[in-house]
Amino acid sequence: MFDNYNFKYKRVFEIFSQISAIPHGSGNMEAISDYVVDFARRNGLRYIKDSANNVVVYKEATSGFEKSEPVILQGHLDMVCQKTAESDFDFSKDGLELFIDGDFLKAKDTTLGADNGIAAAMIMAILESNDISHPYIEAVFTTDEEIGMIGAGELDISVLRSKRMINLDSEEEDVVTVSCAGGSDFRAIFDISKEKFSGQEVTVTLKGLLGGHSGVEIDKGRVNANILAGRLLSFLSEKTDFQIISINGGDKPNAIPNLCVIKLCCENSAEFKTVCEDYLNQIKAEIKQRESNFEFLVEIGNNGEFDVLSDKLKKDIIYVLNTTPNGVLQMSAEIEGLVETSLNLGILKTDKSEIIMHYALRSNKASALSFLNRKMKILFSVTDCKTEEFGYYPPWEYRDDSKLREIYCKTYNEKFGKEPKIEAIHAGLECAVFSSSIKGLDCIAIGPSLFDVHTVNEKMSISSAERIFSLILSVLENCK
């Protein structure tokens, strides 16, 4: 499809087109992994493929670089599969339908998969060429990054000898990423003890909050619906009598919940409704500048006998909802504007036998993340619940003495006459997995400008991809 376009680095886009023709959604890695293996064979390059379908391809240093330190070029092979509601596209067997719109490369009715197919295409173009100067290259193509960095976690690091790595999974051309958060899940589980209570059912709905990603938007001051529910229940417990039937808010631990529904039971519903609405109106006025669409609904239901939480469990739930840390806990002292440590109560769920509180914990410091887990255990230890930690992934900590970052920034300045932005993110990157396994790894993350990733509107700037590829070639040339 690129025959009629005068791209300076056409081969990158041709390879990307070949990748796009192969189904490669997360969990469907065999075919795309075999494609990389076939590529290595055709080009006479040594390779390793493991049981997780990761592929490592090796290329010898070019003349003059034999004594230079080797470098890892790394990207992931899987893509997020999203399509329009009207599309009959089948990600398990169909190839993406690419098209060009001005400076942008897009896919018809689906995600584009430039996250992270463009990384694979750039790396393969470098491996294929005999006209590029570079040190010894270890090209690492990982799998299932989008569903938990699974491939990177299963890769045998002993097959690598390099101590410097360029990850190509960043999405802003003028940014070099130098640190990312690690994280884990923390869950508290309360066994439900019930009592019978006769009264009138009341449903309180807190809705219209902004919500958002618990990494990217955690510092935006957005109100967590579950925490707000705890605040309301605490106030009501001092002003009026009621019992709790259930409380439910959020469905993903890493998403700030924008909705919470509380089912209660009381004897004097009219008085309860007045007290509840008066307080919620105060809250609405308090948060209107940051949560202008916040709404609430207090609905009176039927009279009857209801199963309600025991008084002890009711007090425990109100206690933890009002004392739990949530949101930003610490800002970085090393990188201006970076959230260093945070957590998010993303799920508050009542089922038949349990109440579950599920948090996403994040930190760019391993020690701070460990302390946060201990802190949560101590908080919940005074209640009758069990806790569990799981889903740990390490942080990629900022390195003061990064020679690779210096080479990149110097090269960037020489090519474009300006400095790149040096940033850290409060979310996960595979750099964290590699830096935690390879002692002393010097690592940066870069990439071309991508927009609306993980959505059907995903697009990639063609000119940006060309500039980044040209920049990578110059960086490799300067990696002597």
Query: Taking Cα atoms as reference points, which of 243, 246, 294 lies closest to residue 272?
Result: 243
Query: Taking Cα atoms as reference points, which of 120, 107, 142 lies closest to residue 29?
Result: 142
Helical segments of 269-402, H only: 269-287, 311-323, 366-380
Whether residue 478 has a cis bond before it, omega within 30° of 0 = no
Six-digit token string for 326: 């949530």
Q: Are 396 and 40 in contact (CB under 8 A)?
A: no
Query: Taking Cα atoms as reference points, which of 432, 409, 423 lies closest to residue 335?
Result: 423
Six-digit token string for 168: 């190509």
What's the pLDDT score for residue 334? 85
| Rounded Cα distance, 104 and 20, in Å | 16
In order along the chain (480 residues), what is the average pLDDT of each group of 10 residues?
77 97 97 98 98 98 97 97 94 97 96 97 97 97 93 97 97 95 95 94 97 89 97 97 97 91 96 97 97 97 96 97 98 91 97 96 95 97 96 90 97 97 91 95 98 92 97 96
What's the pLDDT score for residue 94? 97
Summarize pLDDT for 208-219 with one digit per residue, the tens.
Answer: 999 988 988 899
What's the pLDDT score for residue 147? 86
What's the pLDDT score for residue 152? 96
What's the pLDDT score for residue 3? 73
Domain at 10-181+396-477: CATH code: 3.40.630.10
What's the pLDDT score for residue 254? 86
Cα dihedral 279, 285, 289, 293 in deg (nearest 10): 70
By residue count, the chain amounts to 480
| Rounded Cα distance, 351 and 307, in Å | 12
Q: Are 267 and 200 in contact (CB under 8 A)?
A: yes
Burial of residue 80 (number of CB atoms within 10 Å: 0-12, 13-18, 19+) = buried
What's the pLDDT score for residue 454? 87
Q: Are 96 and 110 in contact (CB under 8 A)?
A: yes
Q: DSSP letters along 209-257, please?
A: ---EETTTSTTTTPPPHHHHHHHHHHHHHHHS--EEEEEEE-S-TTEE-
What's the pLDDT score for residue 213? 84
The residue type at 302: N
β-strands 442-445, 71-76: how paired?
unpaired
What is the residue extent of each domain of the chain? 10-181+396-477, 184-389
C-alpha Rg value of the chain to the nearest Å: 26
CA distances from 337 to 219, 289, 426, 429 (A): 9, 22, 11, 19
451 in helix, strand or coil?
Answer: strand
User: How many Cβ atoms sit within 10 Å of the Cβ of residue 412?
Assistant: 21
What's the pLDDT score for residue 151? 96
Tokens 């933890």 found at? 320
Angle at 121 between CA 116 and CA 126, to 5 degrees: 130
Q: Does domain 184-389 sit in CATH 3.40.50.2000?
A: no
Q: DSSP letters along 387-418, please?
A: EEEEEEE--B---TT-HHHHHHHHHHHHHHSS
| Rounded Cα distance, 469 and 446, in Å | 10
List the catalytic residues. Answer: 78, 145
| Rounded Cα distance, 429 and 318, in Å | 36
| Rounded Cα distance, 409 and 418, in Å | 9
| Rounded Cα distance, 79 and 134, in Å | 28
| Rounded Cα distance, 446 and 155, in Å | 22
Helices 269-287 and 225-239, axial angle in degrees (round to 10): 130
C-alpha dihedral sign at 301, 306, 311, 317: negative
The residue type at 30: E
